[in-house]
Amino acid sequence: RDVRSSARPDDHPVVAVSWFEADAYCRWAGGRLPTESEWERAACGGKPQRYPWGDDPDQPFRMNDIAKFGHLDSVRTAAAADQASALASPAGALHMAGNVWEWTSDWYHRTGTSTDGVVDPTGPETGTWRVLRGGSYMNLPSYCTCTHREPAEPERQALTTGFRCAWSP
C-alpha cells in the first residue's frame, strides 16, 4: 500500500503495513528488517549527532515533518523516496529522519539494547511491542532523530509507518 500524490506511486514509501507484513515482505525479497543498531548506524553513520546531517534540525528544511510547514494541516503525506538527495545520511540512505516511522526487527525494551562489548546488539528475545525509528511527517523534529525510538504493537497499521529492508553480506 502506498500514499499517492503527483509523484509516481512507486516513488513513495510503502505505508500502513504491520510489522508482520513488513517482515514478510523483507523475507520474500531476500532480506530482513534491520535491527535497531543497524538502523541507527544507517541513519547517522556511527557519528554522535542528532540528525543524519548533523545537529541542526533546520538545515535547511531537510525533514518532511510538521515543523517544516508550521502547522499540522499542511502536511498530509510522505515525501517521494527519491526526493531531495541532499537528505541522504552518511551511509547514503534517504529520509532516515521524518517522512515515515520505520519498523525494526527488535522487540522494545525501555532501556534499549545492551551494548556491553557487542558489535551489533539486539533487543530482548520476546516482548509486547516492536520498535519504530525515524519519526514521521506528522511529528516534530524532536521525534525525528537518529536516536529516538517508539514502541508499537506489531499489528499497528498507520499512514505514518513504513519500513526498509536490510541485507546481510
| pLDDT one-digit tens code per residue, 17-26 | 999 999 999 9
pTM of the model: 0.81
Q: In the prediction, which pLDDT does 9 show? A: 53
Query: Does residue 51 have a pLDDT over 60?
Result: yes
Calculate the dihedral angle through the C-alpha atoms of 106, 110, 116, 121, rounding to the nearest 10 degrees: 10
Contact 17, 161 (CB under 8 A): yes
The H-or-E segment that residue 28 falls in is helix 19-28
Rounded CA-CA distance 59/38 in Å is 25
For the residues 37-57, what does the mean pLDDT come to? 86
How deeply is 58 buried, as exposed, middle or buried, from its count of CB atoms within 10 A (0-12, 13-18, 19+)? exposed
Name the nearest CA neighbour of 157 among 7, 21, 6, 3.
21
Tell me how long the chain is.
Answer: 169
Q: What is the mean pLDDT of the chain?
A: 79
